Chain A
Amino acid sequence: QVQLVQSGAEVKKPGAAVKVSCKVSGYTLTTLSLHWVRQAPGKGLEWMGNFDPEDDETIYAQKFQGRVTMTVDTSTATAYMELSSLKSEDTAVYYCATEWFGELCAYWGQGTLITVSS
């Protein structure tokens, strides 16, 4: 059974950085592409980027280039998304989601609320 369990909610000050974790089980992290998607309060889904183990490549949405870093720790089956220089507009629920043999974002984590406030 595929499961993605994310870290808990955090409150950050503007200018700080946040690192969200996503621990996977039921499959091997390095075999399927893992995506990060965020959703601001009352807004739609916004793709941030993905790690593709097949190409060993990480692709970021242009909007987040230079501010986001996505990594994986195979020893703990955990993926991480770090977002720096936080602004109030970064307040959102952040999701990790894995592909499943051609199924885009087939399984999702429960989401992590990041609140940016002074």
Chain B
Amino acid sequence: QSVLTQPPSASGTPGQRVVISCSGSSSNIGSNAVHWYQQLPGAAPKLLIQKNNQRPSGVPDRFSGSKSGTSASLAISGLQSEDEAEYYCASWDDSHVIFGGGTKLTVL
């Protein structure tokens, strides 16, 4: 059971804005940064958002992250079919890394 809680699924139509949540506690999100990963089918995960809200080079600005207290969110605006993937949040917790259970995003 993941210490970071994500909804198992989310969906939207092309062009819509979708938000995926990640809930933790004071020992992880509450005191450490949150990172988000995108995993396309059959591929390795890819860093999408680092340190709560920073996009690594090459990540479109349609993707944005935020954090408040012990929760974080990933927002995807202008949804595209290629955004259909699994999304994971991650954070440090007492010198260990923990991942959320993942959210399967479906573009309808």
Task: Determine the residue in chain A with the shortest Cβ distance to B6.
Answer: A44
A108 close to B51 (CB less than 8 A): no
Interface size class of A (residues with CB under 8 A): 20 to 34
Interface residues of B, dominant DSSP: strand
A46 on the B face (CB < 8 A): yes
Chain B residue contacts of A95, Cβ below 8 A = 44-45
B90 on the A face (CB < 8 A): yes
A61 close to B37 (CB less than 8 A): no
B98 close to A47 (CB less than 8 A): yes
Interface residues of A, dominant DSSP: strand
Chain B residue contacts of A108, Cβ below 8 A = 44-46
B56 on the A face (CB < 8 A): yes
B→A interface (CB under 8 Å): 2, 33, 35, 37, 39, 44-47, 50-51, 56, 86, 88, 90, 92, 95-102
Residue contacts A-B, CB under 8 angstroms, 25 given: A35-B97, A37-B45, A37-B99, A44-B2, A44-B99, A44-B102, A45-B39, A46-B99, A47-B90, A47-B96, A47-B98, A95-B45, A102-B51, A103-B47, A104-B33, A104-B35, A104-B92, A104-B97, A105-B47, A105-B90, A106-B47, A106-B50, A108-B45, A109-B44, A111-B44
